[in-house]
Amino acid sequence: MKTRLHFRWLFLLPLALGILLFALLKGRPVEPQREPPGETPVPVRVVAATPLTVVPRSRENGTVRPARVWNGVARVAGNVLELHPRLDQGVIIPAGEPLIRIDPADYELAVAQAESQLAGVRAQLEELTAREANTRATLEIEERSLTLAREEEARKAELLKKGMIPRSDYDRELKTLLTQRARVRNLVNTLNLLPAERLRLEAESRRLEAAVAKARLDLERTTLLMPFTGRISKKAVEVAQYVRPGEVLVSADGIDLAEIEVRLPLSRLRNLVQGRVLERVSPEQTADVGRLLGLSAVVMLPDDAGVSWPARVARIGDALDPRTRTMSLVLEVDHPYAHVVPGIRPPLVKGLFVTVELSGEPHPETLVVPEEALHQDHLYLVGPRGRLQRRQVETGLRGEGWVAVTGGLDAGEQVVITDLAPAIEGTLLEPVADDRALQRLVAAAGGRR
């Protein structure tokens, strides 16, 4: 009996130990050993910081307008007798062509009347000249007679003292002397009055000369001439219509010069003229504002069809727009109607919407980077051992697609243009040179390597 119990415990004891060990292992699982994974580099596009000769540019839009606009105003009243056979809106008429003729009859009569009055006054002046000559000749004769009368009076006075003649003979001689003196005095007075009479007639002559000139001018104004070669923009008169002074009868636009006004924010204008130092500016220099500021310009069609016109900056607006904070620039284009190719190169007509490209002076040896690479004032660079480096830089000129870096970057450093999110300092990078991006950068900056 004891033997059988002994063998039973020998069987149950190992079984209990196994069950206990299994329960212990199941309650505390052991994690498997893992190998640390290798670091995976992040592929990024890069361009090398390259010194270029950059040209700051700005593209603005504007509308063409003629530089010269003329309003033909009636200067005299009357009925319209004749119009130019081609006087109509849109027609180009050469300079000097008569456009409108007003009935000149009344003005021809006014000229004839003024001329006749002037001729009468001139005749009076000639008569006055002749009268003055005659008076002077008569005065000379009368003065000789006065001398003889004085001598005769003195002789008879001596005879009277000696009692050789009666008193009545002396009195008659004295009366003759006094009469002769009166004649001489009258002639002298007449000569003294002649200068005043001449001045009056000369003044009247000048007044009538002015009246003749005014009448002739009014007669000339009955014909309205084209002042310059231009395009008719408005016709407001017909034949037999009565017009009054001050009425606008016709308007024309010059075709020799066109203007385009564009508005630039101060930041873009400053970018174009950066580096220019103007210590003293004379009024003569302001006649060529473009050269003074180092600006050149080209006018293009908005669809960029390869058609362009050379332009120049003629003047700058007198004030900053308080609402948009922009400055006005006015450009001029010579011969806007020249070299027209129908369907390809249109004339720069009034109201045409165009694009203006303004260029500043070249800036050599300037480090530039793509605009997309700049994150506020930081660049992402490929640093030592291929790690991402975030660096603060100083910027200068800006253009379409590029930014000039003036501090914090050396030539040849690799600039990351891929948009990393997130950008963690020290991230391992796999840089890939983007040659196309570099070519676009060179073309946009307008420089050369």
- Report the interhelical angle of 167-220 vs 105-161 (nearest 10°): 170
Q: Assess if residue 269 is contained within a domain.
A: yes
From 322, 344, 359, the end of a domain falls on 359
34 burial level (CB within 10 Å; 0-12, 13-18, 19+): exposed
Q: Assess if residue 169 is contained within a domain.
A: yes
Q: Assess if residue 34 is contained within a domain.
A: no
Residues 95 and 226 in one domain: yes
Strand-pairing partners, residue 145, are none
What pLDDT does 49 receive? 87
Residues 113 and 190 in one domain: yes
Residues 209 and 354 in one domain: no
125 burial level (CB within 10 Å; 0-12, 13-18, 19+): middle
What pLDDT does 21 receive? 56
> Which pair of structure tokens corresponds to residue 355?
């694009």
Residues 94 and 132 in one domain: no
Spell out the SS3 assignment of 363-418.
EEEEEEEEHHHEECCEEEEECHHHEEEEEECEEEEEECCEEEEEECCCCCCEEECC
What pLDDT does 54 receive? 85
Q: Which residue range forms the structural domain that includes residue 368?
A: 44-55+363-445
Query: Contact 276/289 with Cβ under 8 angstroms?
Result: no
Which CATH number belongs to the domain containing residue 49 in this structure? 2.40.420.20
Q: Assess if residue 9 is contained within a domain.
A: no
Query: Contact 449/50 with Cβ under 8 angstroms?
Result: yes
**Alpha-carbon gap, residue 295 to 272, rounded angstroms:** 8
From 359, 391, 407, the end of a domain falls on 359
Residues 373 and 393 in one domain: yes
Q: Assess if residue 355 is contained within a domain.
A: yes
What pLDDT does 439 receive? 86
Residues 184 and 174 in one domain: yes
Q: Assess if residue 230 is contained within a domain.
A: yes
What pLDDT does 2 receive? 45
What pLDDT does 335 receive? 94
Which CATH number belongs to the domain containing residue 95 in this structure? 2.40.50.100
From 359, 386, 403, the end of a domain falls on 359
Query: Contact 446/57 with Cβ under 8 angstroms?
Result: yes
Within a 10 A sphere around the Cβ of 359, how many other Cβ atoms? 16
What pLDDT does 31 receive? 53
**Alpha-carbon gap, residue 173 to 165, rounded angstroms:** 12
Q: Assess if residue 36 is contained within a domain.
A: no
With vertex at residue 307, the alpha carbon angle to CA 304 and CA 309, rounded to the nearest 5 degrees, is 115
Residues 351 and 291 in one domain: yes
Strand-pairing partners, residue 230, are 93, 254
**Alpha-carbon gap, residue 440 to 18, rounded angstroms:** 77
Residues 332 and 369 in one domain: no
Per-residue confidence in pLDDT tens, the chain, 449 aa: 444 544 454 555 556 566 665 555 555 555 555 544 567 888 989 988 888 888 888 889 999 999 999 999 999 999 999 999 999 999 999 999 999 999 999 999 999 999 999 999 999 999 999 999 999 999 999 999 999 989 988 998 888 888 888 888 889 988 999 999 999 999 999 999 999 999 999 999 999 999 999 999 999 999 999 999 999 999 999 999 999 999 999 999 999 999 999 998 888 888 888 766 554 555 655 667 778 888 889 999 987 668 899 999 998 888 888 888 888 999 999 999 998 888 888 999 999 999 999 988 888 888 888 888 888 888 899 988 888 989 899 888 887 888 889 888 888 889 998 888 888 888 888 888 888 888 888 888 874 44
Q: Which residue from 396, 399, 404, 343 is spatially nearest to 368, judged by alpha carbons?
A: 404
What pLDDT does 110 receive? 95
Q: Which residue from 334, 311, 335 is spatially nearest to 262, judged by alpha carbons?
A: 311
Residues 115 and 214 in one domain: yes
Which CATH number belongs to the domain containing residue 318 in this structure? 2.40.30.170
Residues 110 and 216 in one domain: yes
What pLDDT does 81 receive? 95
Domain count, the chain: 4
> Which pair of structure tokens corresponds to residue 373?
């690479």
Residues 346 and 317 in one domain: yes
Q: Assess if residue 24 is contained within a domain.
A: no
Residues 182 and 227 in one domain: no
What pLDDT does 15 receive? 60
